[in-house]
Structure 1
Amino acid sequence: MNGVNWFRHVGNRDGITLIELVAVLLVMGILTAVILERLLDIDAIREPARLDRLKNHIRFAQTMAIKKNNRFWGIRCDGTLYWLFRTDNPNNATEPEQTSNIMYLPGEDDQKVNASSDDPFKVFFTVGTFTIYFDRYGMPYTYVSGVNEIRTLVAQGLQTLDISFGSTQLRITGETGYIQ
């Protein structure tokens, strides 16, 4: 019995110490991070996040066109990279490609953004090629196939412009420029 009483009276009799509490929380945090990292499918999260990012960048181009009402603003995508541009002459097909017309997108370090990855050399999913312009009213324009001029989606008889983005579609409404 003497050994049992000695065991009960050793240590802090008031409860746990702050150091013990911090140590337990730290171990639990590390274990939770490891378990979640193994359970979550990062690729399943990557595509919707990138799609939202592209939508926000297209909305930014539309907002800039409305705000700076003397120029066309737009987004061009070559299938991997996309970029923001502004132009005074939208009927020139090379305008979105010219370095002097390419602008930085908000929150981006480079002028051209990889649509599927932060690493410019990795491609996790494909994106359809497109060029979309916005006028001072926020109406979307795109090239007429075979003709070196742009027209509104409505003038081309299109209700929407559908852009493939991985396994989903990004849709821009022709009349209002609403991005879904």
Structure 2
Amino acid sequence: MPGRRLRTAAVLLVALGMLTACAQPAPAQSSPRVTASIPFADEEAARAAVEDAYSRYEETADAVAHDGGKAPERYEAVAMGSALEEGLRAAEQYTEAGARADGATRVESVQIQRVDSTDRLNAVTAYVCVDVSEVDVVDSSGRSLVSPDRDPRVLFLVTAGFDADVLKISKRSVWADQC
């Protein structure tokens, strides 16, 4: 049984690293829409749009993880493609393990890697640095499942694309353990 508990904790820690889930619940109404046209007016406009879209993604991840994985369909408003699949899987893991997240993730910086005015589904790729130092994942008894050796900041490579006129996160992967 201790081996199963360690595997469950490991799965949740991976989910935390990928979700950077936090305690800020999403509002009951739908998330605000980010509208933009391709091409963006300039790189700063693309950066601001990605920062807004990624912040909405994190707010949703925060809310779902805070609620122990309940109502994962909230991801549909902010994610598509593999990012949506990732969020739904992580929510399922939280639910199955009886875990939830506490704390807040902060987006620290966004740096544009590429803007593609010809590809609406992969319009912008950026490096996004998040601070997870205030985030904890706890089991049903309130015991932390986060390693005390966890890096407090994580760098993600994020791709955002348009679903109709809404900029959503379509891909996300850990680029580096620190940023």
What's the TM-score, normalizing by structure 2?
A: 0.30
Question: Looking at both structures, which has the greater relative contact order when contacts are Cα pairs under 8 Å and sequence separation is at least 6?
Answer: 2
Query: Is the radius of gyration larger for structure 1 or structure 2?
Result: 1
What's the TM-score, normalizing by structure 1?
A: 0.30
